[in-house]
């Protein structure tokens, strides 16, 4: 797969303008939120998140605009970091950890070379891990195998749909960038609506801070992102254009709650602590992991 000049994409300049404008608006929102306490801005969680977005948003945009090859490279890096964080949270060690990384590499390779066999590889990975765990004859080994298989299905397999979007869907690169923006704006709108109007909790046992008002914010943010990025979307029927943002918002919420369930199961607050304002990379991409396959299969049905 060739690597393209990111600026050769017809939508690249408009993408840069949109990204720059949103980051400026975001910083302005932080200043307003911290009015009268400007010296506290560098220490606020909102500023830390904004600073993180200043770094990761351009990297994501450049990788996608440069084509499927750089998108695949970025996905591979994200998958490795995500699996490292997941292994630490779920305490997957020893041979199951090694098998999880090996299976994840195979899944991503198949997504590039022979995506029609992606499900077959996942099934074979499950069988191989099961046989290995039976040979060990240890209940703890079997539990570790199950967690390792979940890691493969949860991170590399779902991330592989970013590669499928850019390589198998016409205009998929523009849609992938829109999905990234939709997840970000969905989270921001959910936070704002939850703070302003949140009363009734959405899932108190999984994520006590999530409210129904915040869920409405998720939907608002997703539709706003699709409206802003309308210039870069693939040709879609009106019904598809109206339905997809709602599905993205629902997948966003589901992905966030799923990761919360994993962390609560192991008594962990964040997947890691190296990403300012968010915790770990897995805490940042949890929603995107669910959004990617939903959008990909929706486009296969809608086109």
CB 294 within 8 A of CB 251: yes
Give the span between the Cα atoms of 99 and 119, in whole angstroms: 17
Please enumerate in sequence order all residues whose Cβ is within 8 A of that of 25, keeping only pairs 6 or more positions apart, or say none.
none
User: Residue 286: exposed, middle, or buried by beta-carbon count in 10 A (0-12, 13-18, 19+)?
Assistant: buried
184 conformational bin, left if phi > 0, alpha if psi -120 to 50, beta if neither = alpha
Nearest to 220 by CA among 257, 256, 254, 182: 182
* Single pTM value for the model: 0.90
Task: Average the pLDDT over each of 95-109, 218-232, 241-255 and give the range with the smallest value.
Answer: 95-109
Query: What are the pLDDT digits (tens) for 141-186?
Result: 778 888 998 999 999 999 999 999 998 898 899 999 999 999 999 9
pLDDT above 90 (res 288): yes
Nearest to 86 by CA among 157, 162, 173: 157
Nearest to 92 by CA among 39, 148, 50: 148
pLDDT above 60 (res 239): yes
Query: Residue 137: phi, psi to the nearest 5?
Result: 65, 35
pLDDT above 60 (res 293): yes
Structure tokens at 72: 């695949």
Please enumerate in sequence order all residues whose Cβ is within 8 A of that of 50, keeping only pairs 6 or more positions apart, or say none.
23, 26, 27, 30, 277
Mean pLDDT computed over 192-208: 77
């Amino acid at each position: 797969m060739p690597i393209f000049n990111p600026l050769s994409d017809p939508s690249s300049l408009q993408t840069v303008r949109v990204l720059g404008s949103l980051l400026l608006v975001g910083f302005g929102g932080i200043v307003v939120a911290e009015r009268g306490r400007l010296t506290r801005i560098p220490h606020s969680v909102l500023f830390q998140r904004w600073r993180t977005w200043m770094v990761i948003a351009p990297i994501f945009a450049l990788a996608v605009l440069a084509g499927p090859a750089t998108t695949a490279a970025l996905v591979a890096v994200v998958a490795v970091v995500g699996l490292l964080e997941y292994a630490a949270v779920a305490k997957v060690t020893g041979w199951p950890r090694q098998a999880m990384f090996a299976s994840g590499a195979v899944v991503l390779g198949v997504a590039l070379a022979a995506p029609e066999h992606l499900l077959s590889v996942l099934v074979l990975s499950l069988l191989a891990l099961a046989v290995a765990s039976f040979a060990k004859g240890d209940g703890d080994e079997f539990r570790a195998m199950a967690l390792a298989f979940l890691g493969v299905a949860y991170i590399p397999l779902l991330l592989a749909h970013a590669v499928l979007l850019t390589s198998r869907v016409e205009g998929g690169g523009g849609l992938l960038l829109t999905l990234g923006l939709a997840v970000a704006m969905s989270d921001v709108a959910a936070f704002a609506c939850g703070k302003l109007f949140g009363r009734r909790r959405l899932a108190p046992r999984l994520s006590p801070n999530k409210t129904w008002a915040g869920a409405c914010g998720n939907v608002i943010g997703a539709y706003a992102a699709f409206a802003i990025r309308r210039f870069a979307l693939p040709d879609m029927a009106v019904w598809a254009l109206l339905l997809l943002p709602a599905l993205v918002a629902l997948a966003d919420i589901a992905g966030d709650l799923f990761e919360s369930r994993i962390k609560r199961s192991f008594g962990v607050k964040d997947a890691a602590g190296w990403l300012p304002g968010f915790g770990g990379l897995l805490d940042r991409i949890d929603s995107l992991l669910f959004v990617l396959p939903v959008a990909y299969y929706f486009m296969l049905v809608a086109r």
